[in-house]
Amino acid sequence: MKKTKKTDIFTKIVAIVVCFISAALIISATIMLSNHTNEILLRSQTEAENLTLDSINKIENKIDNYTSYVSTTSGSFQKCTNKNEVEMQIEQIKLSSFTERGLKNVRYFLNGEIHGVAPWPVEITKDLGLDYVKSVEHSKQESLFLGTNFDEMPETDKDKVFPVDLYEFYAPVYDNANIDGIALYFDTAVFRSQIGNEFRHDNAVLSALVRDTGNVLIGDDTFQKNTVIDILSELGVNETNITSRVFHDLTEHNRDRILCKINGLNHVISIEFNSATKDLGVVEIYDCGALAKETNDLINAIVAILVIFIIIIIATIAILVINRYRLQKKVNNAEKHDLLLDCLNKYGFTKEAEDILHRESGVYYGVIVLHIRHFKFLTENYGEGEVNSLLNYVKLTLTKTCRIEEVYGHGENGEFLLLLHAKDKEDLIDRLKIHSFLASQYKGAHKFDVAIKYGIYEYQSGDQSPVSKMIEYAIEANNTVTKATVENVDMQFNFYDDELRKIRLINDDMELRQETALKDGEFQVFYQAKYNLKNHKQDGAEALVRWYDKNTGEYNKPALFMPLFESNGFIEKLDKYVYTKVCEYISYSLQQGRNVFPVSVNVSRITATQPDFVDYYTRIKKKYGIANGALTIEFTESFAYENYDVLKTIVDRLHKAGFQTSIDDFGCGYSSYRILKELPMDEIKLDKFFIDYSENPERINSIFESVISLAKKLNMKVTQEGVERPEDVELLKKLGCDVIQGYIYSHPLSLTDYLHFVENTKDHNL
Ligand code: C2E
Ligand code: CA
Ligand code: CA
């Protein structure tokens, strides 16, 4: 138990510590993770910026070729002094090597007007309201301009009129009255191929050269769409705050990094513009995790280690908890288990019975304590093996007796516990009778009768007593000797009832008064004379104790107080007191020259087993100068049966000290002929039971005859107790009985009455 408690505390401490550690780990892991996620995001934004810058720088280099050509070309117009020279110069440009780079047309501006031949007439451009307006607008800006293309021209019109997409580069011509600026138009496809795909990064989800309108010039064929916003939508990025920011960044030529989620993963949209690329920008999308791969791998490793660690901790806790649970279960089972009989023990029974009564609270139940009679005697005389086989047998009978929602358990010292339901008290007794019958069928190596007494507590609906209390009451019912049990030694079914409660109160009261009563002389010795059938004279007397009740003036019989004194040990004092009083009477009477008959005194098993018993009785005998043979000590048959060896020594010593010995109540219980044969008793007193059967005399007479004949052989005097009827006297005479004791001759008498009775023995007549 103690060990379990220690383990318990240890487990608790370990569990708490482990919980704290894992909680700390989880918290720090979470913090680390969120820190590192932030770091990944920051790092990936910087990384994306670098990559996109790299892309746009590459594009810038390519575009530089065009812009520097265009600006050189614009320089060549400065020397033109009239319109013709301007137009000639334009024709020159058209023939230049730049046609390889897709140069398709050249026009010039003067005073807000567009001039020059084109693959498309100025009028149409004007009508469409597209290029013309923009180009004129541009011409007002006195700087190099890049950027208009005609991809945006409606499909139908484009098909009808212009088969080629063109890209316009504008450059101003300074300080010339014939020309304000020129515009060079390049084939978009050639322009694209000139820029090429080298700027693109392989690990990018998207890497595109876009117009500030969001149209993709050079992109990725995997996407169906050709505007940045549509591509984002295709990737599942639809949040307006993101798309509008992208849109805004493009129109405003902002450099920007925007975080978004694609398929639940962090991505960064990276946008770059620069002065050289004008209205062309680069839009790239990167997976943050892939960008910050090293950091990410590190974190993943840390997280993996942490997860493994946490799993180990959780597993450890789980194992601890399971072990504790198992241990507890084991302890619980052990606590409830009887190892000897492999069934429930008293504690286990109590717990089970509590559960059953909780479930079946409306049913009439009996909580029963079964006590195997003379269990100690059986153990001492027949050994553990025999007793264990008896216990196993009783257990088997209980297994057979128990039904559903009933239970039994094994207590100590020949005690079993049983919970049975029944219709009522009678029904319960019927069931117990069946059990009693089953138990009596035991066949052991040593032939003895199994007798069980049942202490019964009746449970009825609404009873709140704990089962442990019910067991206590049932034991009390078994132990308290009531009037009924005194009259019927074999009383089997002892119910805990109101009478028992009353008896307990009376016993408590008597126990309180016993010592004072002894001092105050409330215990008085009565004498019952015996009659000798052979010589027709008085044959001694038996001393019988009475307790005088001052309040009622009655003499209470031993049946009221003997069981209590036997259980609390006071009997020893009382026996010695009665014995001393008897010695006192004999010596006093002899001194007065009175007629004195031998006296028999009763000695309980408790008194007889005291180490000083024989010495004490001998000392008192000597003290009062009582002659040998004047005192007989009566032992009960049950005591003789259960303490055979002890009694044999006692009897020998008593004989040496001049006492006579007698075996009392013979035939009421054990009737062992061994006692008769081997214990050298002087007298055998037959229980009243023998003559109670005289109405059906055949069987009992034969036993009687054999007992008497054996007693005769052994030279023992045979006395019959409780003789009340003349016909019994006749029968006893015939059978050869020596002495009778009973109301027919004399009732137990007070000393005064007895003295008087003895004085008049001559008048004695049966
Ligand atoms: P016991 O030793 O068997 O005593 C005989 C009992 O039978 C006495 O009961 C007596 O009054 C009663 N008796 C005598 N003749 C008749 C009869 O004709 N008919 C009936 N029905 N009963 C008769 P009592 O005096 O009530 O004593 C009961 C028992 O108490 C005794 O049984 C004895 O075992 C015990 N006892 C009495 N005095 C003492 C004592 O001083 N010490 C001890 N240890 N036990 C005592
Ligand atoms: Ca007696
Ligand atoms: Ca007797």
User: Exposed, middle or buried: residue 310 (CB in 10 Å: 0-12, 13-18, 19+)?
Assistant: middle
Nearest CA to ligand 1 atom 23: 722
- Of 663, 655, 615, 656, residue with least CA distance to 639: 663
Give the pLDDT of residue 700.
Answer: 66
Contact 570, 606 (CB under 8 A): no
Best of 522, 548, 578, 602 for a ligand 1 pocket test (most atoms within 8 Å of beta carbon): 602
Question: pLDDT band at 596, cuts 50/70/90?
Answer: very high
Confirm or reject: Cβ of 172 under 6 Å from ligand 1.
Answer: no
Long-range contact list for 22-25, CB < 8 A, 24+ apart? 22/310, 22/313, 22/314, 22/317, 25/306, 25/309, 25/310, 25/313
Residues 6+ apart with CB under 8 A from 3: none
Rg of the Cα trace of the chain?
62
Strands 717-720, 683-686: pairing is parallel
Mutating to test ligand 1, I would choose from 522, 525, 544 the residue with most ligand atoms within 8 A of its C-beta, which is 544
Please answer whether residues 574 and 565 qualify as being in contact, where contact means their C-beta atoms are separated by less than 8 angstroms.
yes
Instruction: Report the nearest-CA residue for atom 7 of ligand 1.
Output: 722
Tokens of 504: 């307990």
Q: How far does the centroid of ligand 2 lie from the alpha carbon of residue 490, in Å?
A: 19
> What one-letter code names the amino acid at 573?
K
What value does the mean pLDDT of the chain take?
85
In 3D space, the residue among 326, 332, 740, 322 whose CA is nearest the CA of residue 540 turns out to be 740
Listing DSSP states for 50-65 in one string gives HHHHHHHHHHHHHHHH
**Burial call 407-426: b when 16+ CB within 10 Å, e when fewer:** bbbbbeebbbbbbbbbeeee
Give the separation between CA 532 and CA 737, rounded to whole angstroms.
Answer: 9
Outline where 337-374 has alpha helix (H): 346-359
What dihedral angle (degrees, nearest 10) is formed by the CA atoms of 341, 346, 351, 354? 120
Q: Which helix (H) or strand (E) holds 344?
A: strand 343-344
Identify whether the C-beta of residue 479 lies closer than 8 Å to the C-beta of residue 455. yes
The residue whose C-alpha atom lies closest to atom 37 belonging to ligand 1 is 544
Rounded to whole angstroms, the Cα distance separating 68 from 49 reads 27
Q: Please write the tens of the pLDDT for every residue from 220-276.
A: 777 777 789 999 999 999 999 999 999 999 999 999 999 999 998 899 999 999 877
Burial of 232: CB neighbours in 10 Å, binned 0-12, 13-18, 19+: buried
Q: List Cβ neighbours of 439 (8 Å cut-off, separation of 6 or more).
A: 393, 394, 397, 450, 452
φ, ψ for residue 259 (rounded to 5)? -90, 140
Query: Looking at residues 554-582, what average pLDDT do you find?
Result: 95
Cβ neighbours, 10 Å, residue 185: 25
**β-bridge pairing 599-602 and 365-372:** unpaired
Q: What are phi and psi of 222, to 5 degrees?
A: -65, -25
Residue entry with tokens 């047309």: 105
**Distance separating alpha carbons of residues 632 and 626, to the nearest angstrom:** 12
Q: Which atom of ligand 1 is nearest to the CA of 665?
A: 3
Band the pLDDT of 125: cuts 50, 70, 90: low
Sign of CA dihedral 115, 117, 122, 128: negative
- Residues 637-689 have pLDDT tens digits of 888 877 888 899 999 999 999 999 999 988 755 556 777 888 889 999 998 87
Q: Which atom of ligand 1 is nearest to the CA of 526?
A: 25
Count of CB atoms situated within 10 Å of the CB of 220: 14
Q: Is the CB of 165 under 6 A from ligand 1?
A: no
Does 604 sit in the ligand 1 pocket, CB within 6 Å? Answer: yes
For residues 309-331, give the mean pLDDT: 85
Q: What are 366's two structure tokens?
A: 């009996």
- d(CA 232, ligand 2 centre) in Å: 117
- Burial (CB < 10 A; 0-12, 13-18, 19+), residue 72, is exposed
Q: Which band of pLDDT confidence, cut at 50, 70 and 90, is reported for residue 147?
A: low
Joined together, the tokens standing for residue 400 give 């057979």
If 0-12 CB within 10 Å is exposed, 13-18 middle and 19+ buried, where does residue 135 land?
buried
Res 670: pLDDT: 57
Neighbours of 247 (CB within 10 A): 18
Contact 385, 430 (CB under 8 A): no
Closest residue CA from atom 16 of ligand 1? 722
Neighbours of 207 (CB within 10 A): 23
CA 620 to chain centre: 66
Atom of ligand 1 nearest to the CA of 579: 41
366-388 confidence digits (pLDDT tens) = 999 999 988 887 887 788 899 99
Instruction: Give percent of the chain above pLDDT 70.
Output: 88
Tokens describing residue 620: 């008192």
> pLDDT at residue 730 above 70?
yes
185-193 average pLDDT score: 78
| Contact yes or no for 675/637 (Cβ under 8 A) | yes
Return the residue whose CA atom lies nearest to atom 38 of ligand 1. Answer: 544
Between CA 754 and CA 757 the distance in angstroms is: 5
The continuous run of DSSP H or E covering 172 comes out as: strand 166-172
CA neighbor of 650 nearest in space, from 666, 634, 673, 665: 634
Smallest CA separation from ligand 1 atom 34, residue: 602
Scanning the structure block, which residue is given the tokens 């089962």?
467
- Secondary-structure percent of the chain, ordered helix, strand, coil, rounded to 5: 55, 20, 25
Between the CA of residue 468 and those of 349, 361, 471, 497, 557, what are the distances in Å? 10, 16, 5, 17, 35
Which-ligand-closest: CA of 546?
1
Instruction: Identify the DSSP state of 413.
Output: S
Give the E-state strand segments of 180-255 in sequence order: 181-187, 206-211, 216-218
Do residues 128 and 116 touch, judged by C-beta distance below 8 A?
Answer: no
User: What burial class does residue 303 get, using C-beta atoms within 10 Å of its C-beta: 0-12 exposed, 13-18 middle, 19+ buried?
Assistant: middle
16-25, 217-226, 537-546: which has the highest mean pLDDT? 537-546
pLDDT in tens, 435-480: 999 998 998 887 778 889 999 999 988 888 899 999 999 998 888 7
| Long-range pairs of 355-361 with CB within 8 A, sequence gap ≥ 24 | 356/405, 356/406, 356/407, 356/419, 357/419, 357/459, 357/467, 359/405, 360/405, 360/421, 361/461, 361/462
> What is the C-alpha to C-alpha distance for residues 701 and 707, in angstroms, rounded to an integer?
10
Task: Measure 544 CA to ligand 1 centroid, in angstroms.
Answer: 6
Q: Which atom of ligand 1 is nearest to the CA of 634?
A: 2
Strand partners, 344: 337
Span 276-297, mean pLDDT? 82
Average pLDDT of the segment spanning 112-134: 56
What is the residue with the minimal CA distance to atom 45 of ligand 1? 602
Whether 279 and 212 have beta carbons less than 8 Å apart is answered as yes
Q: Is 528 in the pocket of ligand 1 (CB under 6 A)?
A: yes
Mean pLDDT for 595-607 is 96
Name the residue at shortest CA distance from atom 35 of ligand 1.
558
For the chain, give the longest Cα–Cα distance.
192
pLDDT digits 0-9 by tens, 546-556: 999 999 999 99
What are the structure tokens assigned to 282, written together? 């680069």
State the pLDDT at residue 136.
56
Half-sphere exposure of 679 (CA within 13 A, CB side): 31
Residue with the larger pLDDT of the pair 220 and 749: 749
